C-alpha cells in the first residue's frame, strides 16, 4: 500500500472567448486514485504545453478530435514516473511517455504508455524528440521535401516546432528563413538555431523584409501561424512550392466560424483538420510526361464507348466574342468551339 497522496489538477472551467483567461481553468484537489489490477499510478514529471490545446478548449475541438468537456481535466502529453504498479509490464521508478494531462497523478492500464528508456533529458520526449519534433520532421521532410539550395520559411521560429523545422532545413542544405516575435527571439534563431535570417513580425513592413530575405522566392512554407505571415508569404511562393499545413496560431483565439474567421482561414482549417491535399496544376506542365498516355487511354475509352464527348459548335469567327461571353455565363453545353472554316 502506498500512503494517501493528493492529486492536484486543472479542470476546464469555462470555454474561452478569444484568448484564454486564468479563470477558464480551475485548480482542483482530491486524493490520488489507487491502481486497480492491471493499472499503474503515474506521477507527472513534465507536462507539455502546446498550441493545439487552445483548440481542445473549444466544444468542437481543434478539428481532428472533440474538445475537452467542461469540468474535465485538461489534456496534455506528459513524462510520468510509475509510482505504483499492478501491471507486470511496468516497474515502479520507470519513466514513460503518457497523456496524463494537467495533473500530478493519473491512472493508466498501460495501453497509452511508451517506456522512455535511458534519456539524459527526459523532457525532450515532449519536445524535440517527441510530438513537436516529429511534427517538424514529417511536415518538413515528408511533405515539404526541401532540396539543397531551396528556401524554407517558417514562423514561430523559436518555438517547439519551428526551431526544429529551421534546423532540419539547414541540415538538408536549404536556406532557412525564420519569423519570430521580437529582436531577442530573432537573434536566438540565427545565433543558436542557425537560421540564415530571422525577421521580427512585430516590426513594420514584414512583406518587404521577407521579400528581401528571399531573393529567390520561397520553395517551402511550413504553415503554423496563418494571418499576416501568410499574406507576406503568398506573393513569394515559387513554382511548385510546397506548403505543409500544421496549424494557425494567429487564428486560434478567433471565434470559430464567426465573422472574424475569414474564408481563407476556414479553408485552411479544413485542409488541416481533414488532412486535405490541395494542389494547383497547369496542364501545360504535363504534356511532356503524360500527354501520350492520355491520348492512348482516351482514344481507347472513346472507341469502347466508355467516354462520350459532347461539343457545342458555334459557326463563324464573328460569333467568337459572344460565344466566349456565353461560356463565362454558363450558356454553352459541352466543349465550346468555333467553326472558323470548313
Residues written for the chain: 342
Helix, strand or coil for residue 58?
A: coil
What residues from 230 to 289 belong to the interface with a second copy (CB under 8 A)?
Answer: 230-231, 234-235, 237-246, 249, 252-253, 262-264, 266-268, 270-287
Question: CA quadruple 179, 180, 185, 186: dihedral positive or negative?
Answer: positive
Task: Decide if residue 305 touches a second copy (CB under 8 A).
Answer: no
What's the CA angle centered on 206, arms 214 and 242, to 5 degrees? 45
Closest CA to 108 of 55, 45, 35, 164: 35
Considering only 36, 70, 92, 298, the residue that binds a second copy (CB under 8 A) is: 298
* Span of 31-39, 86-94, 127-135, 206-214 interacting with a second copy by CB under 8 A: 127-135
Calculated CA dihedral for residues 299, 302, 304, 310, nearest 10 degrees: 180
CB of 270 to a second copy, least distance (A): 5
Considering only 40, 82, 104, 229, the residue that binds a second copy (CB under 8 A) is: 104
Nearer to a second copy, 38 or 171 (CB): 171
Considering only 39, 41, 48, 186, the residue that binds a second copy (CB under 8 A) is: 48
Considering only 75, 107, 131, 190, the residue that binds a second copy (CB under 8 A) is: 131
> Which helix (DSSP H) or strand (DSSP E) does residue 176 occupy?
strand 175-180
Residue 213: other Cβ atoms inside 10 A: 19
Chain centroid to Cα 129, Å, comes to 18
Query: Would you put residue 9 in left (φ > 0), alpha (ψ -120 to 50) or beta?
Result: beta
What residues from 169 to 228 belong to the interface with a second copy (CB under 8 A)?
Answer: 171, 181-182, 185, 188, 192-194, 223
Nearer to a second copy, 212 or 307 (CB): 307
Task: Decide if residue 116 touches a second copy (CB under 8 A).
Answer: no
Nearer to a second copy, 19 or 88 (CB): 19
CB of 300 to a second copy, least distance (A): 11
Amino acid at each position: 500500500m502506498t500512503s494517501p497522496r493528493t492529486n492536484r489538477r486543472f479542470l476546464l472551467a469555462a470555454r474561452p472567448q478569444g484568448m484564454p483567461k486564468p479563470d477558464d481553468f480551475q485548480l482542483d484537489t482530491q486524493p490520488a486514485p489507487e491502481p486497480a489490477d492491471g493499472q499503474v499510478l503515474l506521477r507527472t514529471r513534465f507536462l507539455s504545453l502546446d498550441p493545439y490545446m487552445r483548440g481542445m478548449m473549444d466544444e468542437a475541438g481543434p478539428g481532428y478530435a472533440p474538445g475537452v468537456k467542461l469540468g474535465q481535466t485538461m489534456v496534455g502529453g506528459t513524462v510520468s514516473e510509475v509510482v505504483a504498479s499492478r501491471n507486470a509490464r511496468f516497474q515502479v521508478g520507470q519513466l514513460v511517455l503518457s497523456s496524463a494531462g494537467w495533473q500530478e497523478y493519473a491512472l493508466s492500464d498501460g495501453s497509452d504508455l511508451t517506456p522512455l528508456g535511458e534519456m539524459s533529458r527526459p523532457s525532450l520526449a515532449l519536445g524535440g524528440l517527441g510530438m513537436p519534433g516529429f511534427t517538424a520532421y514529417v511536415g518538413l521532410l515528408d511533405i515539404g521535401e526541401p532540396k539543397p539550395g531551396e528556401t524554407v520559411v517558417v514562423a514561430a521560429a523559436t518555438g517547439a516546432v519551428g526551431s526544429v523545422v529551421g534546423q532540419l532545413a539547414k541540415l538538408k542544405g536549404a536556406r532557412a528563413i525564420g519569423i519570430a516575435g521580437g529582436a531577442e527571439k530573432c537573434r536566438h534563431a540565427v545565433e543558436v538555431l542557425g537560421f540564415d535570417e530571422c525577421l521580427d513580425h512585430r516590426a513594420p513592413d514584414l512583406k518587404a523584409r521577407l521579400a528581401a530575405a528571399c531573393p529567390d522566392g520561397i520553395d517551402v512554407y511550413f504553415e503554423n501561424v496563418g494571418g499576416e505571415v501568410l499574406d507576406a508569404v503568398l506573393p513569394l511562393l515559387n513554382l511548385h512550392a510546397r506548403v505543409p499545413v500544421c496549424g494557425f496560431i494567429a487564428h486560434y483565439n478567433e471565434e470559430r466560424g464567426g465573422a472574424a474567421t475569414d474564408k481563407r482561414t476556414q479553408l485552411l482549417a479544413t485542409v488541416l483538420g481533414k488532412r486535405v491535399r490541395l494542389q494547383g496544376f497547369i496542364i501545360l506542365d504535363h504534356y511532356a510526361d503524360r500527354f501520350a498516355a492520355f491520348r492512348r487511354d482516351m482514344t481507347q475509352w472513346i472507341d469502347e464507348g466508355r467516354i462520350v464527348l459532347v461539343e457545342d459548335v458555334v459557326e463563324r469567327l464573328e460569333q467568337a466574342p459572344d460565344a466566349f461571353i456565353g461560356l463565362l455565363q454558363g450558356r454553352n453545353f459541352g466543349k465550346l468551339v468555333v467553326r472558323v472554316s470548313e
